Amino acid sequence: MSDNQQAQTGNEGAVFSIQRVYLKDASVEIPNAPHIFLEQKAPSIEIAIDVGAQRLADVIFESEVTITLTARIDDKVAYLIEAKQAGIFEISNVPDEQMDPLLGIICPNAVYPYLRVNIADLITRTGFAPVHLADVNFENFYQQRLAALQQQAEQGTGEARSPSGIVLNA
What pLDDT, on a 0 to 100 scale, did the predictor assign at position 159?
Answer: 55
Greater confidence, 3 or 40?
40
CA–CA distance, 27 with 55 (Å, rounded to integer): 25
Greater confidence, 10 or 142?
142
Helix or strand run (H / E) with residue 90: strand 76-92
- The tens digit of pLDDT for each residue in 63-118 reads 999 999 999 999 999 999 999 999 999 999 999 899 999 999 999 999 999 999 99
Domains of the chain (ranges plus CATH)?
14-134 (3.10.420.10)
Asked if residue 160 has pLDDT above 70, the reply is: no
Q: Which of 38, 20, 40, 21 has its CA nearest to residue 30?
A: 38
**Percent of the chain scoring above 70 in pLDDT:** 85
The whole-chain average pLDDT of the chain stands at 87
Partners of 166 in the β-ladder: none
What pLDDT, on a 0 to 100 scale, did the predictor assign at position 157?
Answer: 63
What pLDDT, on a 0 to 100 scale, did the predictor assign at position 96?
Answer: 87
- The maximal CA–CA distance of the chain, rounded, in angstroms, is 69
**150 falls in which pLDDT band (50, 70, 90)?**
confident
Asked if residue 52 has pLDDT above 70, the reply is: yes
Burial grade of 79 (CB within 10 A; 0-12, 13-18, 19 or more): buried
**162 falls in which pLDDT band (50, 70, 90)?**
low
